[in-house]
Amino acid sequence: MKSFLFSPNARLRFERQWQSLRSLQRLSLISAGLVLAVTGCNREERPVATGSGSVKADDKPVSGIIISLQPLPPTTGPKATAPVFNGKFEFGEQANLHGGKYRVRFTALPSSLLSQVPPESSEGIIAPGQSIHPDYDVNSTETWELKPGEENTADFEVEFQ
């Protein structure tokens, strides 16, 4: 009895399937190479910059506001925000900030969130409905230069209206 695997038709089907599989493997390798080329597999990783500091109003620590950093050209990378409680803020590595110059803005937390601030974080909490003076928010000209690998600290003063 003849084996099905060795029949001329079966052998031809097997060879075609094998060629298709080899073509698929080549296509996969080419695709993987293109993905690596496009995503920049040898692209240099940018060092991350971190920063921390304080925020005061009338020389007293402030709570219940947000500090925002927006990169100024040619600085690249994301913008970042951090809450300010008991006059302190911190931008850790998770903010993924690149070194460079950033515009600094301050915004008050909405009243609905102010009521949820725990007592231990409420030193200097702003009054509900109180807002940051536009010179420290939308019209801010304050800048901060962050340098990777260095301890970046800054102390800011804000005014309310």
Taken in order 50, 55, 59, 63, is the CA torsion positive or negative? negative
Residue range 4-58, pLDDT digits in tens? 555 666 666 666 666 665 555 555 556 555 555 555 554 457 789 999 999 999 9
Instruction: Check residue 36 and give its pLDDT.
Output: 56
Residue 123 CA to residue 149 CA, distance in Å, equals 31
Rg (alpha carbons) of the chain, rounded to whole number: 29
Residue range 62-73, pLDDT digits in tens? 999 999 999 999
**pTM for this structure?**
0.71
Residues contacting residue 88 through CB under 8 Å, at least 6 positions apart:
52, 53, 54, 55, 61
Percent of the chain with pLDDT over 90: 56
pLDDT surpasses 70 at 127: yes
- Give the confidence band of 119 by pLDDT, cuts at 50, 70, 90: confident
Cis peptide bond upstream of 74, omega within 30 = yes
Residue 46 CA to residue 78 CA, distance in Å, equals 13
